[in-house]
Amino acid sequence: MVSTLARLRRHKIRPKKRLGQNFLIDDGILEQIISLYDLRKDDLVVEVGAGLGALTTRLATRVRKVLAIEIDKTLVDLLKDKIVKHENVEVINQDILRFDFRGVAESYGDKLKVLGNIPYNISAPLLFKLIDYKAFLSMAVLMFQEEVANRITANPGTKDYGILSVFCQVNAAVSKELKVPRHHFYPQPKVDSAVVSFLFHETSLMKIEDERIFKKVVRASFAQRRKTIKNALKHSLSLNIPFEDVLIAMEKSGIDPQRRGETLSLEEFRDLSSALRIKHIEYRYSSHGDIGQSGIE
């Protein structure tokens, strides 16, 4: 099999910095990543950033269908004309942030697996998109800059723990699987990378009653990391209830208002959002005499 570095030289490809292109050139690492996938012959795989087809061609012989997504039109033409010869591979010129995970999963009648080396500038937006469509995904194995991988897998009370940590960990079982030093890429980036696996669940692992309230609470808690949870929610929680009810919800959840948001566990965020949901419903009922919809104002 032709190496990525050889293909770069043969086709005179110059990596585009604006697209965050750093090509993985170590075949051994590629095989290690694929081994994390638990691939089966009937799998449907979405590859994020097909590049020069190093992973694409390896996946094609192991699964039912590969949807190779690539935003760079030059690489798409090269993949179609010179590299990909497998009939079960569909090369798609598209921004992965616009990809229709739901529509594709429903058209094939099966959940998708997602694989790819993720550019830094789309790491968070892509993760939030995958979480939104988790009902149509079974798993993902994604490579990020190491700092992003650390944020995804961080524990409460650490400097890396934040919104990304909470949202990922309540929606998937996440695990940092493999560190990939920078010298395995061309051009060589300034930082190392790491591979993270996600096992998605159709519903939250924490049985969250209202995801909208939960998201508001988490975002507000980390909006000003140096503030106490009391002050952070007072200034950043966009929930239409009196602040006295927020304090009562914290007390019922057993959360000290003087703690910082970064110290709260997933379970504490869940319990606080549940208590706030009750207060929100009570306030709507007392204000309007009708519970009606439980939506957030």
On whether residue 279 sits in a domain, the answer given is yes
Helix (H, G, I), strand (E, B) or coil at 255: coil
Answer whether residue 273 is part of any domain: yes
Q: What are phi and psi of 88, to 5 degrees?
A: -90, 10
Alpha-helix residue ranges (DSSP H) falling in 133-206:
146-153, 163-171
Q: What is the pTM of this model?
A: 0.89
Of 174, 116, 179, nearest to 146 by C-alpha is 179
CATH number (domain holding residue 241)? 1.10.8.100
Average pLDDT value for residue range 167-174: 95
Same domain? 172 vs 227? no
pLDDT digits (tens, 9 = 90+) for 194-241: 999 999 977 767 789 899 999 999 999 999 889 999 999 999 998 889
pLDDT for 100-159, tens place per residue? 999 999 999 999 999 999 999 999 999 999 999 999 999 999 999 999 999 999 999 999
Is the same domain home to 162 and 221? no
Per the structure, how many domains does the chain have? 2
Q: Which domain range does residue 237 map to?
A: 211-288
Q: Looking at the predicted structure, is the pLDDT value of residue 294 above 70? A: no
Q: What is the pLDDT of residue 2?
A: 64
3-state secondary structure of 70: strand
- Give residue-wise pLDDT tens across range 241-266: 999 999 999 999 999 999 999 999 99
- E strand intervals along 58-109: 65-70, 89-93
pLDDT tens for 47-70 read 999 999 999 999 999 999 999 999
* 22 vs 100, residue with greater confidence: 100
Q: Which residues pair with 187 in a beta bridge?
A: none
- pLDDT the model gives residue 63: 97
CATH of the domain at 111: 3.40.50.150
**Residue 207 tokens, joined:** 């049985």
| pLDDT for 291 beyond 60 | no
pLDDT category at 14 given cuts 50, 70, 90 is confident
